[in-house]
Amino acid sequence: MAEEKKLTVLQLLPALESGGVERGTLEIAHELVKHGHRALVISAGGRLAPRLTEFGAEHFTWPIGQKSLKTLRLVSKLRKFLAEQKVDIIHARSRIPAWIAWLAWRRMNPATRPRFVTTVHGLYGVNRYSGIMTKGERVIAVSNTVRDYILREYPDTLPWRIQVIHRGVNGQAYPHGWKPDPAWQQAFFAQFPHAQGKQLVTLPGRITRLKGHEDFIELIARMKRRGLPVHGLIVGGASPSKQRYLQKLRYRVRSRGLENDISLTGQRDDLKNILAISSLVLSLSTQPESFGRTTLEALRLGVPTAGYSHGGVVEILRTVYPAGQFPLNKIDETCQRLAQLLQNPEPVPEGDFFPLQNMLDQTLALYEQLDRTPRH
């Protein structure tokens, strides 16, 4: 029996600071190395980059995500890199890197060039710039929601090129019923004393208008009026461009007299611990999420989780925790249902839902199959 071919796979993304795309890149690189393949990543670097080299992947620091005409200079450099490194698969995970990759790739010899894969991680604005994410020889959609979006908004995309590979969570890292150690809890409540002894209702996600922070403040206000012993946690950082919106949220909390009832924690590296001590985790994005990884992480920990009934989040809730689905734009009904969930929580079932290993296995199988597929 012929020995399995060892592949050289190059993933491209803007940077490696934080986020689901970044974590997915690391997870795939790690799995490639584990199977004896060669894992290359091009990005502008960031705090997650050292982890790549720790497990044997190779990182190349290029400003490949910069929104500048200068970035086009990387096209010929990348074409040369692909040939020198004998890359078998290019996997573009973001729009500007995908444009650079496609412009380099299309001018190479079709008989010998690498195979081209893209992942559509988000429900981007519909335009030619975003359309590059549908140009892969295989297009990975991170949920059925994303697949439907591609077929609806980019009808020229051949359906057989799209493969749904749901994001996944490592069950060993998020075990059902896990709680952080008492020392961490003590330090957390020392920092946020008003949260101690309360039912914690948590909204994770970066500070942006789309994440539903204003709905969250309204829901906490209404639950307090009902006499529920809740404390709201808004967990997520604000980029420089979102500082004004952050100030608006702080003002709204103050003006509703909720300074002792809602804490804005800023960016945290201990989100798992915060999810684990929460009574309820919410997803209130006003626009559909492409997947909803934090929703899945909270459910894997056994924490009741609720969200608006759209996008990738509802795919997870339907599968794991149907009690957590709420209609969008019906704040009275949502408040009533959340109050019920807090007072009589429906237990979250245990199970290996959306396992990370499935995502890894399916992605590597796609690379291997595409590498073997005859070229058109």
* pLDDT tens figures, 104-159: 999 999 999 999 999 999 898 899 999 999 999 999 999 999 999 999 999 999 99
154-177 pLDDT, tens per residue?
999 999 999 999 999 998 999 999
70 and 144 fall within a common domain: yes
CATH of the domain at 250: 3.40.50.2000
What are the structure tokens assigned to 243, written together? 């500082």
120 and 198 fall within a common domain: no
Mean pLDDT, the chain, whole residue set? 94
362 and 291 fall within a common domain: no
What is d(CA 310, CA 148) in angstroms, rounded to the nearest whole number?
Answer: 13
Amino acid at site 215: D
For the chain, give me the number of helices (H) and strands (E)? 14, 13
Residues 55-70 have a mean pLDDT of 94
255 and 122 fall within a common domain: no
How sure is the predictor about 248, in pLDDT bands with cuts at 50, 70 and 90?
Answer: very high
45 and 143 fall within a common domain: yes
Burial class for 240, CB neighbours closer than 10 Å (0-12, 13-18, 19+): exposed
What is d(CA 66, CA 99) in angstroms, rounded to the nearest whole number?
Answer: 12
Give residue 286's pLDDT.
87
54 and 151 fall within a common domain: yes
- Which range of residues forms the domain containing residue 247? 182-343
